[in-house]
Amino acid sequence: MTQLTPLRRGFALFALALGGFGIGVTEFATMGVLPQIAADLLPGFAESPTTVIAQAGWLITAYALGVVVGAPTFAVLAARMSQSKLTFLLLGLFILGTLASVFMPTFGSLFVARFISALPHGAYFGVASLLAARIMGPGMQGRGIALALSGLAVANVIGVPLATWIGQTAGWRWAYVLVAVIFAATLILCLVFLPRYPGNPERSPLKELSALRNPRLWLMIAVGAIGFGGFFAVYSYIAEVTTRVAGLAPSTVPWVLAGLGVGMTIGNVVGGWASDKNINRTTLIGFGGLIVVLIAYSLLAWSPAGLVICTFLLGATSSMLTPSIQSRLIRVAGKAELFGAAMNHASFNIGNSLGAALGGLVIASGFGYLAPGWVGVSLASAGLVLALAAVAVERRDKANNLDTVGIRVPQPVGTE
């Protein structure tokens, strides 16, 4: 066990969170500068901004698909690798992919660059969550996950509004320059402070892939993918709702995103604490709250006050879910914990892709910019149903003396 001074432990945890901060900026800043990208790289923006912005939303889908592909790929290929070295590798790839996004000259090439830059996303959050829990100590998995994800939440308070402002004033490419700088700083801090944990030679790609045989894992992936699609159906088009529906100036978009980020930060902390107490209860309460907020958003976000309040609550309820779903995925993955942790973010980004695509579809069909809210209600409701099914499966397993991966637990003689 690597012995850490309090100072090194603090900087190591900060570095892991800073990486999540960079990921939050690179993923969500695209949504804030989507109109600028559409106007710069796609024809017909002046004539039909609604249609062109919906088309530009495919950049969000490209990033989400990159996460979905990259998360299981890195988790499997890096099965034996030191978690510390894997972190360094993923950060280096983030830097290269983000710089590629800066220089792409066409929409098609930017689409490819966003896909590539997303490949390390899920694996980074997976390994960062495991490292944070390892550094913090036993019984702290939920809070370790919350800490690794705290950078993602804080990014929506500071980083995304800042990147959006930079993109609106200096050009959207400078938003990605900011992201590259954040990842470079993270890599330096990790190289200096992150403890070097050895790899596990007993692990193998086949053992990691064996987790896919467990239907409980697929059920939790569906919970994240479909349930979180509701959040992204709305979040993907908040910039347009702010300016075209609520009638606010473009300069207010960063402030609306900051309010959402404050909600995400609070929800993440509460979700991490609550998950260590009761994972299932946290998941069900989170989905119930998310559905109520999405209904309120669909009805009230036309007004500035309704928009601000609903986006804050949207961030809080959605982020409350993240630690509990990831904790459950790690459990049902058994010994393939990196695979389970990475697949959490793959599932969320399936939701990102699904929500952005369906939200863009209803907008392009003429239903208006608030219509994705009702898409969100449908997806979050389906996520709640799947979460209830997962709870029922867990209770059945306990009744049948099965562990979280479905293997019978030996009972003491005379107890059956």
Domain boundaries, the chain: 6-399
Please say whether the beta carbons of 38 and 45 come within 8 A. yes
Residues 6+ apart with CB under 8 A from 153: 24, 261, 264, 265, 267, 268, 315, 319
pLDDT of residue 139: 64
Residues 6+ apart with CB under 8 A from 401: 408, 409, 411
Over its C-alpha atoms, the chain yields an Rg (Å, rounded) of 21
pLDDT of residue 204: 66
Instruction: Please calculate the CA angle 354-356-360 and round it to the nearest 5 degrees.
Output: 115
Task: Report which of 73, 62, 74, 77 is spatially closest to residue 30, judged by C-alpha positions.
Answer: 62
Instruction: State which residues of the chain have pLDDT below 50.
Output: 1, 412-413, 415-416
Task: Report which of 103, 126, 132, 139 is spatially closest to residue 13, judged by C-alpha positions.
Answer: 132
State the Cα–Cα distance between residues 271 and 54, nearest whole angstrom: 32
Please say whether the beta carbons of 317 and 289 come within 8 A. yes
pLDDT of residue 416: 44
Q: Check residue 57 and report its DSSP letter.
A: T
Task: Tokens for 102, please give them.
Answer: 């800066």
pLDDT of residue 415: 46
Structurally, at CATH architecture level, domain 6-399 sits in: Up-down Bundle (1.20)
Phi, psi for 402 (deg, rounded to 5): -105, 145
pLDDT of residue 258: 83
Single-letter code of the amino acid located at 190: C
pLDDT of residue 1: 46
Task: Report which of 275, 276, 280, 350 is spatially closest to residue 320, judged by C-alpha positions.
Answer: 275
pLDDT of residue 79: 75
Single-letter code of the amino acid located at 83: Q
Count of beta carbons in the 10 Å neighbourhood of residue 299: 13
Task: Report which of 155, 132, 181 is spatially closest to residue 235, judged by C-alpha positions.
Answer: 155
Cross-strand bridge partners of residue 408: 402
Single-letter code of the amino acid located at 323: P
State the Cα–Cα distance between residues 20 and 57, nearest whole angstrom: 23
pLDDT of residue 232: 87
Phi, psi for 408 (deg, rounded to 5): -65, 135
DSSP string for 273-337: HHHHH-HHHHHHHHHHHHHHHHHHHHHHTTSHHHHHHHHHHHHHHHHHHHHHHHHHHHHHTTT-H
In tens, the pLDDT along 159-204 reads 888 898 898 889 999 999 999 999 999 999 999 999 888 777 766 6
Instruction: Please calculate the CA angle 262-266-271 and round it to the nearest 5 degrees.
Output: 145
Residue 398 vs residues 22, 223, 392, 393, 403: alpha-carbon distances, Å:
40, 21, 10, 9, 7
Q: Do you know the residue count of the chain? A: 416
Task: Tokens for 105, please give them.
Answer: 């000259």
Cross-strand bridge partners of residue 402: 408
Residues 6+ apart with CB under 8 A from 5: none
End-to-end, the C-alpha distance of the chain in Å comes to 39
State the Cα–Cα distance between residues 164 and 253, nearest whole angstrom: 8
State the Cα–Cα distance between residues 4 and 413, nearest whole angstrom: 43
Residues 6+ apart with CB under 8 A from 107: 37, 41, 42, 56, 59
Single-letter code of the amino acid located at 53: I
Task: Tokens for 283, please give them.
Answer: 């998941």
